[in-house]
Amino acid sequence: MSWIVSFPCTRAEAEALSGEIPALDALDAPPVVVTREIDEDTGLWQLDAYLDDKPDAALLDLLRSLVPSARDEMPIVERLPDEDWVTLSQQGLEPVRAGRFFVHTSSYSGRLPPGTTPFLIDASQAFGTGGHDTTAGCLAMLDRLARRGGTPRNIADIGTGTGLLAFAAMALWPRARVIASDIDPASIFVTRDNAAVNGVPLGRGGGRLALAVAPGTDHPAIRRRAPYDLVIANILAGPLITLAPDIAAATAPGGHAILAGLIARQMEPVLAAYRAQGFRLAGRGGSADWPCLLLVKRRRYGWRRKERAFHRSDPADASFGNW
């Protein structure tokens, strides 16, 4: 049997839980957390956590700590049949239309809109089902870049999550060489499975997706393929700022970077970090709360400049993924 724990929450709390949750990731068997809007008029949202075993008091307190507005609320704890919990976890995930892309889960039984490029991405421990403004904003920005005539031949998706943005880039530019990486090995396994479901070929050559487990750009395969015409990084503002020198070093002169995962008040610090590395702002998309930035690297900066530096972490973290 499986279990579900539910707490009411605010929209801000739900959005804050859209990325990695270190407190849960540290658990031996972390729950799958899904947030969804319950009432549009009142702005009520709900956190649902799906677990393999009945939660103890410590886990309930940990889940409650993720949504401070529910500190005085009693959780709803229910037991579910094993075969139902995955389907139930998808119920709050509506299909997303972003640019030419249509992203849905396996619970969607409707008609695919004509003229769209569909992807089936189920909820998982990896971020990037398309439902959050950051992922949808990146999808729309990729579409916008293609409509502007952009033709990147070498692409890196740093912090790929479910692999969705890498899949979208391959759909737009089917002959490009694409590599997707993530610091979390679980994300690479999720990406591999999603690639099979969506007919995305894995491999090292053009028209195939290479996968690697890596902190930022710190991986031999990522460095060997550089410089990139397009770097996608939908992560968080802090890592985006830290990785600015590395992403600049990996981006070809005249190449583009699509950055997301930041909230509106973090946009200027992120832009300042990338302007210092020779980028300029070429476009803004996403939502008012969650901007998506399109940057262009000025041509006077090159991959071989002496000041290039890659962000280093424990070499043990930079292991190969599945190719």
Instruction: Tell me the CATH number at 275.
Output: 3.40.50.150
Establish whether 135 is an annotated binding residue: yes
Confidence of residue 307 (pLDDT cuts 50, 70, 90): very low
In a domain, residue 88? The reply is: no
Over the chain, what is the mean pLDDT?
84
| 144 and 31 in a common domain | no
Establish whether 234 is an annotated binding residue: yes
d(CA 9, CA 70): 6
d(CA 156, CA 227): 10
| 31 and 117 in a common domain | no
| Model pLDDT, residue 222 | 95
Q: What is the pTM of this model?
A: 0.68
Q: Read off the pLDDT of each residue in 307-313 and give the average, rounded to a whole number.
A: 41
d(CA 167, CA 102): 12
| 64 and 126 in a common domain | no
In a domain, residue 89? The reply is: no
| Model pLDDT, residue 322 | 28
Q: How many separate domains does the chain show?
A: 2
Of 12-21, 194-203, 228-237, the range with the lowest mean pLDDT is 12-21
Confidence of residue 82 (pLDDT cuts 50, 70, 90): low
| Model pLDDT, residue 132 | 61
Cα Rg of the chain (Å, integer): 20
| Model pLDDT, residue 300 | 66
The tokens describing 250, both together, are 């990996």
d(CA 265, CA 61): 30
| 237 and 305 in a common domain | yes
Letter string b/e over residues 127-158, b meaning 16 or more CB atoms within 10 A of that residue's CB:
bbbbbbbbbbbbbbbbbbbbeeebebebbbbb
d(CA 219, CA 158): 11
| 105 and 47 in a common domain | no
| 102 and 79 in a common domain | no
In a domain, residue 323? The reply is: no
pLDDT higher than 60, residue 301:
no
Of 189 and 173, the structure prediction assigns the larger pLDDT to 173
pLDDT higher than 80, residue 292:
yes
| Model pLDDT, residue 124 | 53
CB-based burial label for 323 (10 Å; 0-12, 13-18, 19+): middle
In a domain, residue 90? The reply is: no
Confidence of residue 303 (pLDDT cuts 50, 70, 90): very low
| Model pLDDT, residue 13 | 87
User: Could you tell me where the beta strands, DSSP code E, fall in 266-315?
Assistant: 279-286, 291-297
- Residue range of the domain that includes 166: 96-317
Question: Roughly how many angstroms between the first and final C-alpha of the chain, as a whole number?
Answer: 35
d(CA 119, CA 102): 6
Q: What's the CATH code of the domain at 74?
A: 3.30.70
Confidence of residue 304 (pLDDT cuts 50, 70, 90): very low
Q: Read off the pLDDT of each residue in 16-30 and give the average, rounded to a whole number.
A: 76
In a domain, residue 184? The reply is: yes
Share of the chain above pLDDT 90, in %: 54
